[in-house]
Structure 1
Amino acid sequence: MGKSDRRRFLKGVAAVAGGATVAIPKGTSAQTFRPANGTTALPSAAMQSREREQPAEVERLTTEKTGSDFMVDVCKTLNLDYIAACPGSTFRGLQESFINYGANKHPEWLTCLHEEVSVGMAHGYAKVAGKPMAAIMHGTVGTQHAAMAIYNAYCDRVPIILFTGNAGPLNERRPGVEWFHSVQDGAATVRDFVKWDDYPKSLQHFAESTVRGYALACAEPSGPVFLVADSKLQEDPLAEREARKLRIPRLTMPSQAAGDPNALREAAKMMVAADHPVIIADRYARSQAAMDNLVELAELLHAPVIDNRSRMNMPNTHYLCQSERAGTLIGQADCILSLEPVDLFGQLNSMRDQIERTDMPRTKADAKVISISTHDLFVHSNYQDFQRYVGADLNIAADAQTTLPFLIEAVQREMSASGRNAGEMRGEKLRQAYHDAIDRARTEATFAWDARPISTARLYMELWGQLQKEDWALVSDGDFSSRWPHRLWPLDKHYRFIGGPGGYGVGYQPVAALGAALAHRDAGGRVVINVEGDGEFNMAPHTLWTAAHHRIPYLTIIQNNRAYHQEAMHIQRMANRHNRGVRSAALGTSIDNPNIDYAKIATGYGALGIGPIEDPSDLAEAFRKGIAAVKTGQPVLIDVITQPR
């Protein structure tokens, strides 16, 4: 309809209406439309100008498929069961796609209340499940929150798949907060302590980098990988024509590097020829088969094993597990085999913490040292987790777990060729030393049996009394409990113990225990035990909410000495060094006045809270009640007031 036709039409409408009032468009002067002598006024110049303008652009609010849907398709091709996150807008597209398009399955979305929990949970999960879990962080601030947990996993050489969101192009960023949470280089904050990172610029790039990242994370030495998911890539519509061009690479898992056969033959000769061989296992075993191989090698050589407990390496029920005699055995050894040492220098030397620090060898001058490790394959410059350098007589750069079966074959061939076998007399002496150490530990555990605060030995023995008929797993370290679980409990299977904490960042224990408990739940419902200090728990008490929300059952026992006791001892040492006495060491290290009611905190987060327990005679009933609740699917916390260690 032309302009003149439209005017005639409007005149006709006015006439039919019998002079009725015409609706006046909002914002237009009423004078323009006032009828005069029964006719309608001509349009004003402003109205004519608006008629010539293009109609306003309608904001697009919906689309059938986005880039984040394809990202979910990529993740579903990987062996990822879970992705953990504290919510954040930089990955809103991905989150929506995971839970709706991806049906919240493989991976399932887990809600955490802090990014350090998300990443630490993935850390503990991987150590039990033997495969990565994913975590996602909110831009710059989420990555900074998560940095401590990422560093722990890096130091512990644990595979994790890490994502973060980022609003890349500046013209795509909403004013204000989105700028604060965006960055040019998303991995810059953590690059020194991840294995690999990338910022994909296209969906095809994302697919290839994510599959590559999964494989790299799992290749020994394993570690966290970090991928930036650009917000525009997540949220832009994905047309069917474009989608048909995208390809997801097939995941090919790398085989792990085994030691050079010539080097293994030389190692076998050295071990078989030794009169006092010793094996030190550190970050070695990732499976039950690896534990079994270590037992086989130790029995072939009648060699004692010192388990440094970075992993569950050697069953302490075997007489050749002689960890408590480490100093004596290393001093006597003429040949030492170290498997995946975290700190080879520290194994072979001792250092005195004094004003002028001095070190001295723990080994004999002519002792031969063999190292099988991936340590030299993954060293970064800035963070000093690589420890002090020491040269082994034979340094085999390979994955020790993969290499050990080949070393066993080499030892068997060498024994056959030389006609030499490890002395039975040495074996008998080791048996006697093993039983003497057990008797000594049991005797020492009776000291302060009825004391208040409760002794840590009493805590572990009362716990064992309730636990011994269960299929159980310990997901905490025992170093801050005088190593009582390793001295008193039978750690006979690989899943019994999770290993050490990696970077020793305070707060590792509650978050790693949560992830480990999730893996154990999926593996068949073992009773999971987590004994942690009050200082550790206070770093992440909100793990209990995630446990309650997602029905992850485990028993947390607070070894509550109402202090950061490790730091209190350091202050005492400094005060002694400065001749100032030790009475004020509690200032800045104690957690009292007021005392914290951890059972109430647990109840508030939806877990069962028990305690505080101050009388040692009440321990058995508290542990019985706690284990029974865990077996029904509840997370439980028991607060026990204990002596410092």
Structure 2
Amino acid sequence: MTDPESGALHRRRFLKGVVIAGGATIAAPAAVQAQTPDKPKANAAPPTAAAKASEREHPPEVERLTTEKTGSDFMVDVCKTLSIDYMASCPGSTFRALQESFINYGQNKSPEWLTCMHEEVSVGMAHGYAKVAGKPMAAIVHGTVGTQHAAMAIYNAYCDRVPIMVFTGNAGPLDERRPGVEWFHSVQDPAVTVRDFVKWDDYPMSLQHFAESTVRGYALACAQPAAPVFITAEAKLQEEPLEERELRKLSIPRLTRASQAVGDANALREAAKMLIAAEAPVIIVDRYARSQQAMDDLVKLAELLQTPVVDNRGRMNMPNTHYLCQSERGPALIAQADCILSLEPVDLYGQLNVMRDQLERTVSSKVKKGVKVISISTHDLLTHSNYQDFQRYAAADINMTADAQTTLPFLIEAIKREMTSGGSAFEARGQKMRGAFNGFADRARKEAALSWDATPISSARMYMELWEHLKKEDWALVSDSDFSSNWPYRLWPMEKHYRAIGGSGAYGVGYQPVAALGAALAHRDAGGGRVAVSITGDGEFNMAPHTLWTAAHHNIPYLTIIQNNRAYHQEVMHVQRMANRHNRGVRNVPIGTTIDNPNIDYAKIAQGYGAVGIGPINDPNDLSEAIRKGIAAVKSGQPALIDVVMQPR
């Protein structure tokens, strides 16, 4: 065995200040010697008045290197009073003190620190989580550069009206900034990059200010319409020592949640009269339901009036197995309607009108003249000027600025009070809806069978093969189906609120993999072994493949199926349309839109990040076994990916 004390330069002897090497004595560096200053001699002369004056003018440099409690500890105390379970981040120095306080002082619990590889993942993960958990998750981004990275995900969440707590760090006082990179990562106004698409922001100037702003921000994020808030944690406040006497002066406000706005009683009474009197009423729902109770209330309202519901699927609003869910007949029903009730419309104008995408764009009405329109929405409560997600203005006969989910029970009661007759007419309308509904499933299955054995694999075949395995499980779809011809809504029974999370908000490319990660985390925490599934386009996945590393690292199980059409196919269609419009043919359309030559092996990418990778699957007859393996991996607690080479839609 080697003698641990052998060797020419042993660490402990080096630190003592002397090493014997070849008979020579090597003195320790001055910096090491300075740690053990010589004691003054007992008979040394006292310092002269001149020496004392010189010391006062040029005092010896004293550095305080440690402390027991800092401002960042108090910031953690503030966050722990809120219902924040997770803090997602890509590491950055502007919040280094906060990170240390969360993981050590806060014991990495409530919130737990989650490691991401891009700020857009941190925020997008919080987006998906909030839509399932029904409460905000936090993300923290690194100064100027992290905020710019995160901006797309913040915008998606803003347009989707989802509550997120976004924090950043910043070195404000210039005399406190370290030379060099800290200047590049600091800014005078940290929120200016995202101010147009957050609900509220603040830059607290004291720890008490931080406490009040964070509690206020949480409450504002949750109040409908929900949206992200953005709070800056000043680096000086984070890192400075917090003395006991200062701590005693601080307090953390108690969180109080605002009650959601309810429609005016007079407006509800008038709306009830309109709906009862209508011969062909239609309910259109978009970003309406946030809970199972909201779905149940919508069913009650529809059954009370025997009125068809057209679900635009901004959320999981209406069970697609209910005979009054008539989304597939939406255009015809809206065209015939004499009264329309729109609940949380994202685009009321677009519900009532259509614009032709041609050289000279023209608008025509979807509805007949004289139709009565009732809108219940919080849309007008959050409207900014620059980023115009508010859509074109549309007039309604009754426009209730209120939370539709909170208001619906009151509307139901108003209808019951006003309803004196009409039961037979309502029942006849209901029978008509039953007859129309009975053909939906059969037509969808016949359409799905048209390309059953096609290669590349059809999206309908993939969804049906997936359903054969999912129907045995408690499952949740954590992806938008707009780019899959809405096959899951047409082929699968979707009867519970958590079955789907709706749309993305701004349709920013890259939302899908990151939101799925957060949604899967919330489903994991719900317990019961729920199988979360994301159908993600290859273009979307390439924006953030490293979400799989975060999933593997933090034990977040879910199944990702890559809808691998080897293109940004939405853009393929746009360029095709322009080429046809310009009479130039479609031969060159693949330039700048396709993802091939070489083809990407997504299964290998997944394996490299620590997830289970399966594929690529080219033969539709291999789908079932691949899906079986993928679901088995998820049920064992692992993230899994299946690469399926598919047709465009």
* TM superposition score normalised by structure 2: 0.91
The equivalent of 1:615 in structure 2 is 619
**2:21 matched residue in structure 1:** none
Do 1:220 and 1:374's aligned partners in 2 also have CA atoms closer than 8 Å?
yes
**Native 8 Å contact 1:272 1:422 kept in 2:** no
1:491 matched to 2:501: no
User: Which structure: larger Rg?
Assistant: 1
Shift, 1:26, TM fit: 7.5
The whole-number CA distance in structure 2 between the counterparts of 1:343 and 1:49 is: 79
Offset of 1:25 from its aligned partner? 12
Task: Give 2:177's aligned residue.
Answer: 173
Identity across the alignment (%): 78
Match of 2:159 among 143, 150, 155: 155
**CA 1:549–1:24 in 2, change beyond 3 Å: closer, same or farther?**
closer
Alignment of 1:7-18 (within 5 A): none
* 1:52 shift after superposition: 5.5
Q: 2:148 aligns with which of 134, 144, 157?
A: 144
What letter is aligned with 1:521? R
Aligned pair partner of 1:104 in 108, 133, 140:
108
| CA distance in 1: counterparts of 2:576 and 2:390, whole angstroms | 29
Alpha-carbon distance between aligned partners in 2 of 1:209 and 1:423, rounded to the nearest angstrom:
51
Residue 87 in 1 paired to residue 91 in 2?
yes
| Residue identity opposite 1:431 in structure 2 | R
1:104 deviates by: 0.4
Question: 1:87 and 1:488 mapped to 2: Cα distance?
Answer: 42
Shift of residue 428 of structure 1? 1.3
What per-residue deviation string (whole Å, max 9, x for no partner) do you get for residues 507-558 of structure 1? 0000000000000000013100000100000000000000000000000000
SS of residue paired to 1:585: coil
Instruction: Note the alpha carbon deviations across 1:367-403, whole angstroms, 9 max, x for none.
Output: 1000000011110000010000010011011000000
Please state if 1:340 is matched with 2:340. Answer: no
Q: Name the structure 1 match of 2:12.
A: none
Where does residue 507 of structure 1 map in the other structure? 510
Per the alignment, in what secondary structure is the counterpart of residue 127 of structure 1?
helix
1:340 CA displacement: 0.2
| Secondary structure class of the residue paired with 2:75 | helix
Paired residue secondary structure (1:65): coil
Unaligned runs of 5+ in 1: 1-22, 28-41
In 2: Cα distance, 1:388 partner to 1:114 partner: 34
Aligned to 2:457: 454
Moved more, 55-64 or 161-170: 55-64
Q: How does 1:170-569 map to 2 (within 5 A)?
A: 170-416=174-420, 418=421, 422-524=425-527, 525-569=529-573
Q: C-alpha separation between the residues in 2 aligned to 1:234 and 1:141?
A: 19
Alpha-carbon deviations, 1:599-621, whole Å to 9, x = none? 00000000000000000000000
Residues 279 and 303 of structure 1 are in contact (CA less than 8 Å); yes or no, is this contact kept in structure 2? yes
CA distance in 1, matches of 2:148, 2:369: 47
Alpha-carbon offset, residue 432 of structure 1: 1.4
Question: Normalized against structure 1, the TM-score is what?
Answer: 0.92
Count of residue pairs the alignment pairs up: 605
The DSSP-based 3-state class of the residue aligned with 1:149 is helix
- Indicate whether 1:589 and 2:570 are aligned: no
* Structure-2 change in CA distance of 1:235 and 1:422 (3 Å): farther
Write the distance in 2 (CA, Å) between the matches of 1:621 and 1:316. Answer: 28
- Note the C-alpha offset of 1:51: 11
Offset of residue 56 of structure 1: 2.6
Distance 1:388 1:285 in 2: 23
C-alpha distance in structure 1 between counterparts of 2:30 and 2:95, whole Å: 41
CA–CA separation in structure 2 for the residues paired with 1:292 and 1:201:
46
Distance in 2 separating the partners of 1:548 and 1:575: 44
CA distance in 2, matches of 1:74, 1:51: 47
Query: Secondary structure at the residue paired with 1:423?
Result: helix
Aligned partner letter, 2:324? L
The 1:559/1:319 distance shift into structure 2, 3 A limit, reads same
CA contact (8 A) 1:166 1:231 kept: yes
Cα gap change, 1:24/1:486 in structure 2, threshold over 3 Å: closer, same or farther? closer
Contact 1:415 1:421 in 2 (8 A): no
Q: 2:81 aligns with which of 77, 82, 92?
A: 77
Give the distance between the partners of 1:204 and 1:96, measured in 2 at CA.
Answer: 20
Q: What's the counterpart of residue 36 of structure 1?
A: none
Candidates 119, 138, 146, aligned match of 2:123 = 119
Q: Which runs of 5+ in 2 are unaligned?
A: 1-26, 32-43
Which residue does 1:15 correspond to in 2? none
Decide whether aligned partners of structure 1 residues 452 and 51 sit closer, same or farther in structure 2, where only a CA change above 3 A counts.
same
- The residue type paired with residue 505 of structure 2 is G
Q: Which residue of 1 aligns with 2:11?
A: none
Post-superposition Cα deviations, 1:176-227, rounded to whole Å, max 9, x if no partner, equal 0000000000100000000000000000000000000000000000100000
- Work out the CA distance in 1 between the residues paired with 2:238 and 2:200: 22
> In the TM superposition, what whole-angstrom CA distance separates every residue of 1:542-595 from its partner, at most 9, and x where no partner exists?
000000000000000000000000000000000000101112111100000000
Change (3 A) 1:370 1:64: same
SS in 1 for 2:254: coil
Report the RMSD for the aligned CA atoms in angstroms.
Answer: 1.8
Q: Which of 602, 607, 617 is 2:606 aligned to?
A: 602
Q: Report the secondary structure of 2:561's partner residue.
A: strand
- Name the aligned partner's letter for residue 337 of structure 1: L
User: 1:466-515: CA deviations, max 9, x gaps?
Assistant: 11010000001111011100100011000000110000000000000000
